[in-house]
Amino acid sequence: MQRDAATEAVFKPVRPPTTFEETVERLGTAIRLGLLPAGSRLPAERDLAGQLGISRSTLREALTTLVQSGHLVAQRGRTGGTFVAERPPLAEKNGKPLGDDAWAVLDYRVAVETGATILAAERAEPGQLDRLDELVTKMAGATDFEDYRRADIRFHIGIAEAASSPRLVTAMTEVQGQMSDLIALIAHPERVLTHSNAQHRRLVGLLRRADGPRAASLMREHIEGTEHILAGLI
């Protein structure tokens, strides 16, 4: 694959801790901008993982997500490999790009979720935190994404409830509804859900210790992972 400076930027090492999510963003954005042209073949898995500075398992998960979303096509055999789809999706709704609207929702989510988390660390009752733990367990045992997402919504609304702010509950319910419209556009591999729920579990632990700053920081990291995925696919 012939490369220029812009293409070289696609394949520079990815930064932790959101290596999986940033890999999806990096490749998805390159496809959308035409830096990785339709029909072009990606470098071999070992070479690509080395260039990005990530493990091959992380790369496989990112490629699987992009295959499931229709951006990449995997072909087997002697001439096989991973190729950019001939007509990758642009994730448009009603003929209008979602970019500006999506980022507005994500900004709103940051404000609501981090604020609710700080207050929940100060005000949460033990029973409310027990309920959050139950929802984490429910997500861990979910057999499909719909079950997972229902528990996920209840978890985030539960944080607002633990903040003892009716207005935050209303705002959280609104933003979760808007996020559902965005999340419906992308694939949901098991790695994404497992990582996300591990953050849920850690978050409850920080709320139990009334550690508002670290809880808010973790919530921001949690949201940032979703931002990377969406930025690459819409």
The pLDDT of 29-39, averaged and rounded, is 85
In the prediction, which pLDDT does 65 show? 85
pLDDT tens-digit readout, 161-198:
999 999 999 999 999 999 988 888 777 777 778 889 99
The Cα–Cα gap between 105 and 173 comes to: 13
Give the domain ranges of the chain.
Answer: 5-84, 92-233
* Exposure on the CB side of residue 120, measured as CA atoms within 13 A: 32
Let me know if the fold of 5-84 is the same as that of 92-233: no
- Percent of the chain residues past pLDDT 70, beyond the cut: 90
pTM of the model: 0.77
pLDDT of residue 96 exceeding 60, the answer is: no
CATH topology classification for 92-233:
Four Helix Bundle (Hemerythrin (Met), subunit A) (1.20.120)
In the prediction, which pLDDT does 150 show? 94
Q: Domain 5-84 belongs to what architecture?
A: Orthogonal Bundle (1.10)
- Three-state secondary structure along the chain? CCCCHHHHHHCCCCCCCCHHHHHHHHHHHHHHHCCCCCCCECCCHHHHHHHHCCCHHHHHHHHHHHHHCCCEEEECCCCCEEEECCCCCCCEECCEECHHHHHHHHHHHHHHHHHHHHHHHHHCCHHHHHHHHHHHHHHHCCCCHHHHHHHHHHHHHHHHHHCCCHHHHHHHHHHHHHHHHHHCCCCCCHHHHHHHHHHHHHHHHHHHCCCHHHHHHHHHHHHHHHHHHHHHHC
Binning pLDDT at 50, 70 and 90, where does residue 1 land? Answer: low
Q: Which residue has the higher pLDDT, 32 or 174?
A: 174
If you compute the radius of gyration of the chain from its CA atoms, what whole number of angstroms results? 19
The Cα–Cα gap between 132 and 121 comes to: 13
In the prediction, which pLDDT does 35 show? 84
